[in-house]
Amino acid sequence: MILHPVPLPGGVCAPRGFSASGVPAGIKPSGRPDVALVATRRLASAAGVFTTNRVVAAPILVCKEHLEDGLARAIIVNAGCANACTGAQGLRDARRMTELTASLLGLDPDDVLVASTGVIGRRLPMERVEDGIRAAVCELSEQGGESAAMAIMTTDTRPKLAAAEVKTPEGPVRVGGMCKGSGMIAPNMATMLAFLTTDAAVEAPLLQSLLSAVAEQTFNCVTVDGDTSTNDTLLLLANGASGVTVHPNSPAEAALRAALLQVCTALSRELARDGEGATKLVAVHVTGAASPAEARRAALAIANSPLVKTALFGNDPNWGRILCAAGYSGASLVPERLELTLCGVPLVRAGEPLPFDATAASAALRATTHPADPAHAAEVVVHLGAGNAEATVWTCDLSYDYVRINAEYTT
Amino acid sequence: MILHPVPLPGGVCAPRGFSASGVPAGIKPSGRPDVALVATRRLASAAGVFTTNRVVAAPILVCKEHLEDGLARAIIVNAGCANACTGAQGLRDARRMTELTASLLGLDPDDVLVASTGVIGRRLPMERVEDGIRAAVCELSEQGGESAAMAIMTTDTRPKLAAAEVKTPEGPVRVGGMCKGSGMIAPNMATMLAFLTTDAAVEAPLLQSLLSAVAEQTFNCVTVDGDTSTNDTLLLLANGASGVTVHPNSPAEAALRAALLQVCTALSRELARDGEGATKLVAVHVTGAASPAEARRAALAIANSPLVKTALFGNDPNWGRILCAAGYSGASLVPERLELTLCGVPLVRAGEPLPFDATAASAALRATTHPADPAHAAEVVVHLGAGNAEATVWTCDLSYDYVRINAEYTT
């Protein structure tokens, strides 16, 4: 059984039977594309993972209702306005988005999912949104994966797409995806917005369990600023166009899981690498933890520490901040067994600081800045000496540009 | 019974019978004062609150040992090097600091407490530290409160002192204090370093319970960057020089508690106002919470959110970020009852956004920048609609200077 998925272009349109589009509707002041549509010709099984924030945006409430039957045909998305903290009118606006999309595509509104991203606390400019939906329906195309990925961006500097094909005993299946960051990104979520497609045929309960498990290992291991958004939404549609049916505990399920994991890992790394103001992708690996949950807790504390993040921005091997963050995370650790390696430079062994060349360590950090190779990252490896569990979390550094972007966002 | 403590100058030397000093010993590269000493002529009851970080600096281990008998005569402190993550040698260095101080003052080493602050992971330059201790002993003076406060600074821009006198049925007692910030400041701690003195006579168990209670309401309600340090130490010495003995549940205890609360509140606000790169002091008041713990959790989530902090820096009334942080804090809230006021401008009532003048709101925020009046703060008031509990947390904004200071700290 081969579980090595092969990367593909095309994003959400890589799997057969999906089309997509992205159009400018004037919701973003910049005039850039801001309405995206993903649709499938066949009724698809659908699964979703949503923010754990107790302040929940209106489109999430509508999405959850429409997902109750585990079926969907389309996803309508706008950027530039989050439709969160918008009260009863916000809920009516989110429903109207699904109703208009459904009527134009000849669908039941219950089969249309909806998501929004952008500024919180402002109502949607519905006239523009409706014109955008009409244009997006006209533009639907099997080559629309990249246009759709462009249209869901907010402060992202580039679109984020991934897709892969994997073999199963019944034939190949494909998984495609797109997502957007790039601030208000923290775990307990399904990133701000991410949309996945597959042409496998999967019943909704299995699709949901696959999606939840993969989200836990990928999107929920990304943090840019520790802020869990009100709008985080991860959706997966499975339309069965490949002719391959995936049953629980089958080789095909393992293959689909591998493809989902590969696509979601690629998107998650891109989220962190394009975090607001980021100059580098940072991978925090914690080993020797008492449990996987403690490993992730320690990795997240390190990844969210402003002191660690600013030191990484400054190419400063100020490693005490890394152990300090592990220490306050609440994860068990044995001080005499702590180990720390930064970008391949050993800094602590058996809890004792090692002599090291600060200039060389700084140069190793600097070399990870704006890497041309998306696979490249500043690697932080911490061993807690308390057990055998491990976890990896992706984040980025904290730069002047993070402050600039977020001090000047609405006014 | 009058419980209005009167502010006094003098910091830790305001209470009778205490002397202090601060001298430069060359530990800080800047050449600024970096060794501080506080001493009392009479044996004092002593109490301490320490970091909850599992990576604990060597001086804290020594301090805890020396506090076991609840008695102390002196506190020796250095800045410029935290003596944390320094292994067995670090522990020997911390002990040596207490032994040398004790021998020069003619004390038992067990009656000397010790604290360090600065870069983590470097060993103390003991020759300089020892010279500094000798000089600090020579300089001890009842006018030394401000010098000592200067010598414990790291990235602080100004010394932080407070003192107060309060009447009791047996006569007046005084409380004095000093502290230092200004990064790696977060709750579950007793701020990075804070030292308090009083001339009341208080048995150690009562002193400890008073100190723990007051710390919970003051220093544990400050956050600059959410990073809980390895070195957080809060110490209180009570030497009885006032002749006033404080018994449990007496009017004198209430008076002493009021004076401690006043001094610690003043120091806590100064910590936040002088947070690294801060342009404004921010007070986050959460009301309508289900419990005091939930109120504090919501207030801390708002105070630690980089998105909220950068918006405040940019004088940007981007209030959705505030409710978003309350939402992910885990505190119970009723969306239809949420209320939000920012610098006196009502923004949300009954969960619905209110129309507001963004220019005026921005001007109200701008007016809190670098306030001449230390009592001034940018006030964020959030009502959760879930109960009757409330909490206040002090923090600061997140500016370019926070990034600059922390990207360039060791290299």
pLDDT-based confidence at A266, cuts 50/70/90?
Answer: confident
- Say yes or no for a CB contact (<8 Å) between B407 and A313: yes
How far is Cα A401 from Cα A112, in angstroms, rounded to an integer?
A: 37
Residue B20 has pLDDT above 90, yes or no: yes
pLDDT per residue as tens digits for the range A283-323? 999 999 999 989 999 999 999 888 899 999 999 998 988 99
Distance of CA B335 to the CA centre of its chain: 34
Query: How much is the average pLDDT of A322-334?
Result: 90
pLDDT of the residue at B182: 67
- Token reading at B201: 């006579």
* pTM of structure: 0.78
Residues of chain B in contact with residue A314, where contact means CB-CB under 8 angstroms, are 406-409, 411
pLDDT-based confidence at B183, cuts 50/70/90?
Answer: low
- Say yes or no for a CB contact (<8 Å) between A306 and B353: no
Higher pLDDT, B411 or A383: A383
Identify from B92, B225, B297, B307 which residue to disrupt to test chain A contact, counting A C-beta atoms within 10 A and taking the largest count.
Answer: B307
- Say yes or no for a CB contact (<8 Å) between B327 and A56: yes
| Angle, in degrees to the nearest 10, between helices A400-407 and B400-407 | 170
Residue A14 has pLDDT above 50, yes or no: yes
Residue B190 has pLDDT above 50, yes or no: no
Average pLDDT across chain B, whole number: 89
DSSP conformational letter for A201: B
* Per-residue CA distances from A32 to A36, A78, A232, A407 (Å): 12, 12, 22, 21
User: Closest chain A residue to B333 measured between Cα atoms?
Assistant: A54
Residue A264 has pLDDT above 90, yes or no: no
pLDDT per residue as tens digits for the range B316-355? 998 988 998 898 888 999 989 999 999 999 999 998 889 9
- Token reading at A241: 């166009």
pLDDT of the residue at A84: 87
pLDDT per residue as tens digits for the range A84-132? 888 899 999 999 999 999 999 999 999 999 999 888 888 999 999 999 9
- Token reading at B68: 């076991």
**Best mean pLDDT range from B52-56, B214-218, B296-300:** B296-300
Query: How much is the average pLDDT of B102-131?
Result: 94
- Say yes or no for a CB contact (<8 Å) between A411 and B304: no
How far is Cα B391 from Cα B387, in angstroms, rounded to an integer?
A: 12
Query: Which residue among A98, A101, A191, A197 is the active-site one?
Result: A191
User: Closest chain A residue to B303 measured between Cα atoms?
Assistant: A227
Residue where the block lists tokens 């830790």: B12
pLDDT of the residue at A22: 97
Burial state string for A107-125 with b = 16 or more CB within 10 A and e = fewer than 16:
bebbbbbbbbbbbbbbebb
- The share of chain B scoring above pLDDT 90, in percent, equals 55
pLDDT of the residue at A190: 35
pLDDT-based confidence at B102, cuts 50/70/90?
Answer: very high
The stretches of B173-317 forming alpha helices (DSSP H) are 204-217, 251-273, 292-304, 306-313
- Say yes or no for a CB contact (<8 Å) between B402 and A320: no
Residue B291 has pLDDT above 60, yes or no: yes
DSSP conformational letter for A136: H
Residue B171 has pLDDT above 80, yes or no: yes
How far is Cα B251 from Cα B3, in angstroms, rounded to an integer?
A: 9
Listed in order, strand segments (DSSP E) in B312-403 are 339-342, 345-349, 352-353, 378-383, 389-396
Question: What residues of B are annotated to the active site?
Answer: 191
Distance from CA of A353 to the nearest CA of B (A): 6
How far is Cα A404 from Cα A393, in angstroms, rounded to an integer?
A: 25
How far is Cα B342 from Cα B362, in angstroms, rounded to an integer?
A: 10
User: Closest chain B residue to A188 measured between Cα atoms?
Assistant: B328
- Say yes or no for a CB contact (<8 Å) between B55 and A326: yes
Taking one residue from A and the other from B, the number of pairs with CB-CB distance under 8 angstroms is 244
DSSP conformational letter for A12: G
Residue where the block lists tokens 């509140």: B265
Does the N-terminal peptide bond of residue A291 adopt cis geometry, omega within 30 degrees of 0? no
Q: Is the ipTM of this complex over 0.90?
A: no
Q: Which residues, including other chains, have CB under 8 Å from residue B82's CB and lie 6 or more apart?
A: A320, B57, B116, B117, B118, B119, B120, B122, B229, B230, B231
User: Closest chain A residue to B411 measured between Cα atoms?
Assistant: A316
Q: Which of A230, A324, A352 is the closest to B87 by Cβ?
A: A352
pLDDT per residue as tens digits for the range A17-66? 999 999 999 999 899 999 999 999 999 999 988 877 778 889 999 999 99
pLDDT of the residue at A187: 41
Answer yes or no: A245 catalytic.
no
Residues of chain B in contact with residue A289, where contact means CB-CB under 8 angstroms, are none
- The share of chain B scoring above pLDDT 70, in percent, equals 93
How far is Cα B40 from Cα B174, in angstroms, rounded to an integer?
A: 14
